Amino acid sequence: MSKELTSRAADYSQWYNDLVIKGELADYSAVRGCMVIKPYGYALWENMRDQLDKMFKETGHVNAYFPLFVPKSLFEAEEKNAEGFAKECAVVTHYRLKTDPNNKGKLIVDPEAKLEEELVIRPTSEAIIWNTYKSWIQSYRDLPILVNQWANVVRWEMRTRLFLRTAEFLWQEGHTAHATKEEAIIETEKMLDVYAEFVENFMAVPVIKGIKTPNERFAGAEDTYCIEALMQDGKALQAGTSHFLGQNFAKAFDVQFLNKENKKEFVWATSWGVSTRLIGALIMAHSDDQGLIMPPRIAPLQVVIVPIYKGEESKPVIDDKVASLIKDLKALGISVKYDNSDNARPGWKFAEYELKGVPVRVAMGLRDIENNVVELARRDTKEKKSVSFDGLAGYIKDLLEEIQENIFQRALAFRNENIREANTWDEFVNLLDTKAGFVSAHWDGTGETEDKIKEQTKATIRCIPLNNKQEAGTCILTGKPSTQRVLFARAY
RNA sequence: CGGGAUGUAGCGUAGCCCGGUUAUCGCGCCUGGUUUGGGACCAGGAGGUCGCAAGUUCGAAUCUUGCCAUCCCGACCA
């Protein structure tokens, strides 16, 4: 058939691409490094976005929108941030095209329409936002500012991959301003918790919360907190970050406020973001050789119903029975599609919805109606069974929750099996090469050692886990003393 | 951006080395019919600037050069 998938064992990267494209989440576009998110993929993103948005609002945040363009002079204000992103910025230099006098029907950039100042297309919005905050903040009474923005950003990456790293991607970025350092740190940690809760409870992907080493820190941050997930091929994926920015941006943009004592102070900042990259994490954490596996709580479609017709006269009977089920499911807030299209037979539909990862499939034919049952198939285990039609909607509601829990537990077990301790250099290298996954090891705390390890093994320090156990040990590379283990892995 | 591979209809492909009438086959698509419990069958039909652009040649899918895109390995990757 036309929708053959590459197996994970045969070629993991190809399997991933197959799932994205054949599962109709996204497609390549005419623009280098940019993808088209197709309706099925966008529905998934909408569900993720809606849930996150709700959680942001529950924690006191409001949405706003800032410009796509950042004047270069603003962009360069915070030096480290500017430096960190400089080499992947798209830049607008002109504002007009004109017809090419030498080539009919073609357009050229009008050399007379050069901008006085170049506009950087935001790779992240700290600069434009902090420039704006300057005019919003005078007094401690104006604080905190708890703003989030849903937006697209552009980072001109050399090598792109669908969802995991595209030149343009969708994300949210929270930018908050606080009167005290303590409050900003609490905010940073709070949003990391929100991310972890979302990714684990809704996407069913277990994560490790931690802090990045200075080498891996966000450009312009004092501390970068992150959640790290493990993919089925043993590589780690950074699923979200929350940054404590200190007063760096306040100083760069001169954002000060008068405190209760009528003294000027610089504002404390945080920023935090997750992107469509999470979709990549979702795919690689759960899916199998038959296709995607969507966690019920954010699945674009939770239930699909496939009729098994036998002769024209069976159609109205089945359609009628299905209509009552759809009504019951919708009443319980469950999304459902009745696929009674005539251009594919049941077997084809079964395979198709498995590929798309729909959590629950209902098959119903005359035989079932006679026995007052349906055939229920769950995507996570591919188990099929006959279930009574009575109370079916409630049964499915429970089953969706069970599937959600099951795929989380499955991913959690895999993740936990793939965190291993290494105490010597040989052990460390051997684990990375033979088992992949996270390797927990002692490190002397220096950036140089971290660089050397990266150079020799391609593994990076994913994070220093929060609430890390303190124990004396020696660095696996240098043998210098260490007080705690950190998590290494090869990463996306 | 460096090394390797690939690019022929919506998808997967044969042909390319060794240039020569109308570019092969399967799936999908359209029409009609029979069907429907794991990727249906019969009959008829539509669909191609052979990735793009130059060049060589009487003649280019085939040879040459450049460019573009994708994949793999590097470099890069808050």
Confidence of residue A2 (pLDDT cuts 50, 70, 90): very low
Q: How far is the CA of A50 from the C1' of B69 (A)?
A: 35
For A391-421, write each residue's pLDDT tens digit: 999 999 999 999 999 999 999 999 999 999 9
Q: How far is the CA of A421 from the C1' of B1 (A)?
A: 37
For A67-79, write each residue's pLDDT tens digit: 999 999 999 999 9
Q: Which residue in the block uniquely carries the two structure tokens 């004109």?
A: A98
For A423-469, write each residue's pLDDT tens digit: 999 999 999 888 889 999 999 999 999 999 998 888 999 999 999 99
Q: How far is the CA of A27 from the C1' of B46 (A)?
A: 26
Q: Which structure tokens are listed for A479? A: 């043998």
**pLDDT, mean of residues A109-127:** 93
Q: Which structure tokens are listed for A199? A: 């990714």
pLDDT at res. A222: 96
**pLDDT, mean of residues A6-28:** 85
Q: Which residue in the block uniquely carries the two structure tokens 């005290």?
A: A180
CB A265: neighbour CB atoms within 10 A? 15
A165 strand B contact, CB < 7 Å: yes
Residue type, A167: A
Q: Which residues 339 to 358 of A reach strand B, CB within 7 A? A: 342-352, 354-355
Sequence-ordered strand ranges (E) for A217-372: 223-230, 236-246, 256-258, 264-266, 268-275, 303-308, 336-338, 360-365
- Specify the pairing of strand A360-365 against strand A107-109: unpaired
Mean of pLDDT over chain A? 93
Q: List domains and CATH numbers for chain A.
A: 12-286 (3.30.930.10), 303-410 (3.40.50.800), 419-489 (3.30.110.30)
Query: In whole angstroms, what is the distance from residue A118 CA to residue A240 CA?
Result: 30
pLDDT at res. A12: 84
The Cβ-side half-sphere exposure at A165, using a 13 Å CA radius, reads 12
A242 strand B contact, CB < 7 Å: no
Q: Which structure tokens are listed for A459? A: 């593994």
**Residue whose Cα is closest to the C1' of B37:** A308
pLDDT at res. A1: 36
Check: CB of residue A247 under 8 Å from CB of residue A267: yes
A467 strand B contact, CB < 7 Å: no
Nucleotides of B under 7 A from a protein CB: 1, 10-12, 26-30, 35-40, 68-78
pLDDT at res. A108: 82
Judge whether residue A3 has pLDDT over 70. Answer: no
**pLDDT, mean of residues A78-100:** 89
Helices marked H in A293-391: 314-331, 346-355, 366-371
Q: Which residue in the block uniquely carries the two structure tokens 């886990």?
A: A465
pLDDT at res. A149: 97
Nucleotide nearest the Cα atom of A124 (by C1'): B78
For A281-339, write each residue's pLDDT tens digit: 999 999 998 999 999 999 999 999 999 999 888 999 999 999 999 999 999 999 999 99
Q: How far is the CA of A106 from the C1' of B62 (A)?
A: 32
Phi–psi pair at A291, nearest 5 degrees: 140, -160
Query: In whole angstroms, what is the distance from residue A393 CA to residue A398 CA?
Result: 9
Find residue A70's DSSP bridge partners: A120
Q: Which of A383, A215, A405 is nearest to A296 (CA)?
A: A405
Nucleotide nearest the Cα atom of A361 (by C1'): B38
3 state DSSP class of A255:
coil
Confidence of residue A87 (pLDDT cuts 50, 70, 90): confident
Q: How far is the CA of A32 from the C1' of B68 (A)?
A: 10
Helices A12-22 and A277-286: crossing angle, nearest 10°? 110
For A167-195, write each residue's pLDDT tens digit: 889 999 999 999 999 999 999 999 999 99
**pLDDT, mean of residues A238-252:** 96
pLDDT at res. A388: 97
pLDDT at res. A100: 79
For A30-68, write each residue's pLDDT tens digit: 777 888 899 999 999 999 999 999 999 999 999 999 999
Q: Which structure tokens are listed for A419? A: 């965190």
A65 strand B contact, CB < 7 Å: no
Confidence of residue A18 (pLDDT cuts 50, 70, 90): confident
A3 strand B contact, CB < 7 Å: yes
**pLDDT, mean of residues A241-268:** 97
A200 strand B contact, CB < 7 Å: no
